[in-house]
Amino acid sequence: MSATWTNYGGNITATPHAIVEPKSLDDLRKIVEKARAEGRTVRGVGDGHSFSSVAVTDGYLVRTQSYGLPLPLMPLRPDVNSSNLVHVEAGMTIRTCIDTLRKMIPPKGLHNMGSYTGQALIGAISTGTHGSGWKLGPLANAVRSVTMVAGDGKAYRIEPTNGISDPGGVPDDITLIQEDTVFDGVVIAMGSLGLVYSLVLDVRDDYALVERRQVSTWNTVRPILHTGHDMFTKFRHQEVLINPYETDGHHTAVITSRRERIPSDDLDVQANRENPWQVIANLLPWHAMNVIATLMKSDASTIPGFLDSGLRTLKGMFGSRYDAVLSLGIDAVDGYASEVAVPFESTADAVDIIIDEAKTYRSEAPNESVAWRYYLTSPFSLRFVAPSSQMMAPQYDRLTTMIEIPCVSFPGTGVTVESVRLLNRIHRRLINDVGARLHWGLEFDALTAQDISTMYPRYNEWLAIRERFDPDRVFENRWSSRVLFGGSGSVISGG
């Protein structure tokens, strides 16, 4: 009955007892009850875009994308305005959610989103996925209600103390909990508290964005981070891309700013909308990433120049509906990434650390034939995210700069040991020097429970919530045991 599951990056493989595709809340209850009866564990998995082992289990692997339909709103308190609320099954992809909202009358949209629309909502929300915007928090900030099946096989609807649900309208087979502390521990929980069935999201009217990208240098950007520049006060979204390697005496950077405008089908400002590596690929005949790989492998010193070429080609303006502007896609170039959350005021120091580690590490290559393996093979990005009240959010209680450090997966190469070693070196310095937190799905299995207890000031509160909903460790796996619980506590066998 066992099956094999592999994540998108190909670096994580699981052999669960079974892969199941539930269609309803009742199906989720039955899965948990069956797992408990058999002494097995349960983990939910979305689109598989985590590069850590967060979803790996030897028990039941639940494909959340098997339940992804819009749902009617539950009965609400009389004073709740329902015009900007939408109820959906949690396995719905972000792309489907966007399309569903756009068909509403009047059309609606998400307040913010990341750069990829293929993720399941629950996978993105439960790991702290975010977009960009000094005043815009992670996707979790839009959640108003969560319905989930806990370790006892029962369904719970969890909301803030002043929650949206009318207590008298909750079905008998769902227990309503309206309590700020519980809600703030449930939305971002990395699958360790239960199987989330549905979400109520706060949305807004549909909108469009106009994006302007300006080529600059890190030396120019650095002081902007300390001055309250127009980049933060006048624009809805802000982002910076940086070449980790120096060319012509500086590190090339691209500043991206986005303004909101009314949706329109005739937005006509155009610019290249691909990510930097797609741009680089398009500079060569036949869009040949294998050509780039061959050149870089034969002469690693060309990598900084290639990164500059891609960044400089991004200059320009683009206007479209918000999802077309915010989504960069991942179709043409395979890759993997880590992501680090640092306090906004430490952004410049964090960038300097990444640049220093990238420079040092490439000098450690034992010979020229493998030198390319010791390079970062893509520009890294800075995105600015408002605080979250979710106690396990990487953005918890502080204005945050999310730093994404991508690497290209060259044809036939995949995730390299050397690149993971470099990313983990960068992580460790940022954790020690600037109090960084790591994105839950992009930590490459290097975090420890001691790290987490230091990073998150409400960690012990969250552990108590976990104990409340899953005292028998039905949703535990090797990842959560290592990262969240330090390998302590009983674990049901088979997971």
- Give me the half-sphere count of Cα atoms (radius 13 Å) on the Cβ side of residue 434: 26
Chain segment 263-306, per-residue pLDDT in tens: 655 555 444 455 555 555 444 443 456 667 777 888 999 999 98
More confident residue, 328 or 110: 110
Question: In terms of DSSP bridges, do strands 204-205 and 237-242 run parallel, antiparallel, or are they unpaired?
Answer: unpaired
pLDDT attached to residue 52: 58
- Burial (CB < 10 A; 0-12, 13-18, 19+), residue 369, is exposed
Cis peptide before 16 (omega within 30 of 0): no
pLDDT at 329 over 80: no
Model confidence band, residue 381 (pLDDT cutoffs 50, 70, 90) = very high
pLDDT attached to residue 111: 95
pLDDT at 479 over 60: yes
d(C-alpha 164, C-alpha 153), whole Å? 24
Q: Residue 342 forms beta bridges with which residues?
A: 401
d(C-alpha 37, C-alpha 207), whole Å? 49
CATH class, 65-205 region: alpha beta
Specify the 3-state DSSP secondary structure of 29: helix
CA dihedral 477, 479, 483, 484 (to 10 degrees): -30
The dihedral region occupied by 435, where left means phi > 0, alpha psi between -120 and 50, and beta the remainder, is left
d(C-alpha 48, C-alpha 34), whole Å? 24
pLDDT attached to residue 325: 86
**Inter-axis angle of helices 347-362 and 417-434, nearest 10:** 150
Question: What one-character-per-residue DSSP string does 385-425 give?
Answer: E--B--TT-TTBTS-EEEEEEEEE--TTT-S-HHHHHHHHH
pTM as predicted: 0.89
18 closest CA partner among 46, 53, 57: 57
CATH class, 5-62+457-483 region: alpha beta
Average pLDDT for 301-319: 87
pLDDT attached to residue 330: 47
pLDDT at 396 over 70: yes
| Sign of the torsion angle spanned by Cα atoms 263, 266, 270, 274 | positive
pLDDT attached to residue 495: 34
Q: What CATH homologous superfamily does 208-446 map to?
A: FAD-linked oxidases, C-terminal domain (3.40.462.10)
d(C-alpha 198, C-alpha 230), whole Å? 39
Chain segment 354-368, per-residue pLDDT in tens: 999 999 999 999 999
DSSP 488: -
339 closest CA partner among 483, 426, 439: 439
242 neighbors 250 (Cβ within 8 angstroms): no
pLDDT at 177 over 90: yes
Alpha helices for 314-412 (secondary structure H): 322-326, 347-362
Least confident of 60-64, 113-117, 129-133, 479-483: 479-483
Specify the 3-state DSSP secondary structure of 160: coil
Chain centroid to Cα 310, Å, comes to 24
d(C-alpha 78, C-alpha 81), whole Å? 8
pLDDT attached to residue 414: 76
Specify the 3-state DSSP secondary structure of 292: helix
268 neighbors 319 (Cβ within 8 angstroms): yes
Average pLDDT for 149-171: 97
Model confidence band, residue 114 (pLDDT cutoffs 50, 70, 90) = confident
Mean pLDDT of the chain: 86
Q: Which two structure tokens, joined as six digits, stand for 90?
A: 């949690």
Chain segment 20-53, per-residue pLDDT in tens: 899 999 999 999 999 999 999 998 876 655 555 6
209 closest CA partner among 110, 138, 141: 110
Least confident of 174-188, 196-210, 306-320, 453-467: 306-320
Average pLDDT for 153-176: 97
**Inter-axis angle of helices 289-298 and 303-313, nearest 10:** 140
Residues contacting residue 163 through CB under 8 Å, at least 6 positions apart: 77, 144, 145, 176, 178, 183
pLDDT at 1 over 80: no
Query: Would you tell me how many other CB atoms lie within 10 Å of the CB of residue 69?
Result: 13
Chain segment 213-228, per-residue pLDDT in tens: 999 999 999 998 877 6
Model confidence band, residue 483 (pLDDT cutoffs 50, 70, 90) = confident
d(C-alpha 28, C-alpha 66), whole Å? 11
Model confidence band, residue 182 (pLDDT cutoffs 50, 70, 90) = very high
Chain centroid to Cα 122, Å, comes to 11
| Residue bearing tokens 């595709």 | 21
Model confidence band, residue 2 (pLDDT cutoffs 50, 70, 90) = low
d(C-alpha 270, C-alpha 274), whole Å? 12
Q: How far apart are the first and last CA of the chain?
A: 15
In this prediction, what percent of the chain has a pLDDT beyond 70? 86
pLDDT at 312 over 80: yes
pLDDT attached to residue 6: 67
Radius of gyration of the chain (CA): 22
Tell me the domain boundaries of the chain: 5-62+457-483, 65-205, 208-446
Average pLDDT for 449-456: 90
Chain segment 10-21, per-residue pLDDT in tens: 556 777 888 889
| Sign of the torsion angle spanned by Cα atoms 284, 287, 290, 296 | positive
pLDDT attached to residue 7: 55
